[in-house]
C-alpha cells in the first residue's frame, strides 16, 4: 500500500486527464493514472468508437502506454469518472489486465462526483489463480 499523499496525487492526475477522454457517444469520460514501480505516473483515457465493442478503457490505455515505455510493474491505480455520481471501478477486462502487472496488495482508488472507494487489486480481482503461473 502506498501513502495517502501519493494516492491523492495519483487521483488528481486521473481527474485531470479524464478531461482528455474521447467519449462523444456515451458522454462518460474516464481517466486513469498508474503509479509505476520507479515512481513515474502514466495516464490514460477511454477512447470510444461508434462500435462500442472497439472502445478502449482508460485503464488499459494507461497500461499499454506504460508497457510501451518499458514499465511492467505498477504499485497503484487511480480511476476518475467525473460524469458519474457514484464511483465506477475498472471493468472485468481491465481487472484481468491489471492483475498481470500489479501485486494483489496494490492500492486502487476510484471515484465519481460523490464517494471514493479505496481498495486493492486483490480485492477487485480475487482468486487470481493465473497470477501464480506468471513467475
Angstrom distance (rounded) from CA 66 to CA 4: 23
* Cβ neighbours of residue 118 closer than 8 Å, sequence gap 6 or more: 7, 107, 108, 109
The catalytically annotated residue of 3, 37, 48, 59 is 59
59 classed as catalytic: yes
Cβ neighbours of residue 56 closer than 8 Å, sequence gap 6 or more: 46, 47
For cell 460524469, name the residue: 83
Determine contact, residues 66/74, Cβ cutoff 8 Å: yes
The backbone torsions φ and ψ at residue 117, rounded to the nearest 5 degrees and listed phi first, read -110, 125
Tell me the catalytic residues.
59
Amino acid at each position: 500500500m502506498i501513502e495517502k499523499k501519493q494516492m491523492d496525487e495519483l487521483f488528481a492526475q486521473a481527474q485531470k486527464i479524464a478531461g482528455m477522454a474521447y467519449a462523444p457517444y456515451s458522454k462518460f469520460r474516464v481517466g486513469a493514472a498508474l503509479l509505476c514501480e520507479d515512481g513515474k505516473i502514466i495516464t490514460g483515457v477511454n477512447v470510444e468508437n461508434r462500435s462500442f465493442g472497439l472502445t478502449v478503457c482508460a485503464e488499459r490505455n494507461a497500461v499499454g502506454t506504460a508497457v510501451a515505455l518499458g514499465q511492467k510493474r505498477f504499485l497503484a491505480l487511480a480511476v476518475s469518472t467525473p460524469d458519474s455520481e457514484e464511483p465506477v471501478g475498472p471493468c472485468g477486462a481491465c481487472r484481468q489486465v491489471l492483475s498481470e502487472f500489479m501485486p494483489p496488495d496494490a492500492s486502487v482508488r476510484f471515484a465519481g462526483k460523490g464517494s471514493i472507494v479505496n481498495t486493492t487489486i486483490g480485492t477487485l480481482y480475487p482468486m487470481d489463480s493465473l497470477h501464480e503461473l506468471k513467475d
